[in-house]
Amino acid sequence: LIALQTLKGGILPLRHTAWYNKKQATFSDVLAFVRRTLWAEKFLHNSALNADRVELSRKDMEALLDRLAAVP
């Protein structure tokens, strides 16, 4: 539901690999899209949209690393 609301009729980006060309989004694609959307809102809110670099507080960096480490 979060993905549908965020996309607002747009197209969900598919993650492709060299050995698997899919035509429809899988649950994994939707989950990755939602995670990325939520993390971008949380961790990139203090950085300019067009900046080459982003600023993260120590607390945010630790939280991001914890989340990444927990992904199977």
Band (72; pLDDT cuts 50, 70, 90): low
Is the entire prediction scored with pTM above 0.85? no
The mean pLDDT of 45-51, rounded to a whole number, is: 67
Separation CA 25–CA 31 (nearest Å): 10
Residue 57's pLDDT is 84
Q: Please say if the pLDDT value at position 49 is more than 80.
A: no
C-alpha 29: how far from chain center: 10
Give 1-43 pLDDT, tens digit per residue.
778 788 887 888 777 777 878 888 888 888 888 888 888 777 7
